[in-house]
Structure 1
Amino acid sequence: MRAKVLSIPTLLIAMFFMSWQDADAHCEIPCGIYGDSLRIQQIDEHITTLEKSMNQIIELSEEGDKNYNQLVRWVTNKEEHAVKIQDIVSQYFLHQRIKPVDPSDSEEYEKYVKRLTLLHKLQVYAMKAKQTTDLEYIEKLRDTLHKFADAYFHKH
């Protein structure tokens, strides 16, 4: 009986601390509940936020009397959204949705490699967007996301 009494408080404490963790990506407990289209929309929204952040950083940097507090806020915002893209790509698509394919099935393996390549590009372009205010990476992110969505949702 004593073991049960000790295990309930321990369980409650564990649940309390687990609730503090970010739960941005969907679970990894094969629940079968996936929102692939939603994740694509979220990445698209993060790209738009990156673009807005970059434009604000550029605009604020060109002002004579710089508002460094606002600059820091936009830089931090830009970096957070770049990381969110990387998290969705990694945690959701690479960990859960893109399954390894037998190389002997050349058609499926080609699709697999294409999807992995596009996801890797999204990761790299998000990193580059984090490091700079070069809007070229916004276009690369959008183009790559579009290509990934096409490769992921459409049968070729």
Structure 2
Amino acid sequence: MSDRRGGEDPVDILLVEDNPGDVRLTREAFEAGQIRNTLHVARDGVEALEFLRQQGEYADVPRPDIVLLDLNLPRKDGDEVLAEIRADPDLETLPVIVLTSSSAEEDVVRSYELQANAFLTKPVDPMEFVEIVRSFQEFWLSVVRLPPEGES
């Protein structure tokens, strides 16, 4: 990770999402924003961890600056992915934002127990969903300073 605030390099974001419609909406919301970013997509928890650990076909991908993580994923759910990220010394400081359709209190509590940096509930309305992504982008990619390369 590099300190991308104010820099010219795009911010690398890993979106872990199995719903093609949500991937499309997220991509459109980021494209409409003013911050340069590269959105990578993993469609399940196993693929997400392989990407983050740069294993197999992901050996040459950049380490993302931030992860947007759905909880309801095939093969390995979001809670398992988050627990593995926080247990891995190479990934433990990586900012992880849970972005899920769940608003269940137990999911919120569990995500924070697993050290998620934030929990966002996806609205059903597509325009509201785009607004949530824009709000995320404004805060996490404009205001927050992310750790530099080698610090995570």
TM bracket, shorter-chain basis: under 0.3
Which one has a bigger Cα radius of gyration?
A: 1
Give the structure with the higher percent strand. Answer: 2
TM-score, reference length from structure 2: 0.27
Normalized per residue, which structure has more helix? 1
Which has the bigger relative contact order, CA under 8 A and spacing at least 6? 2
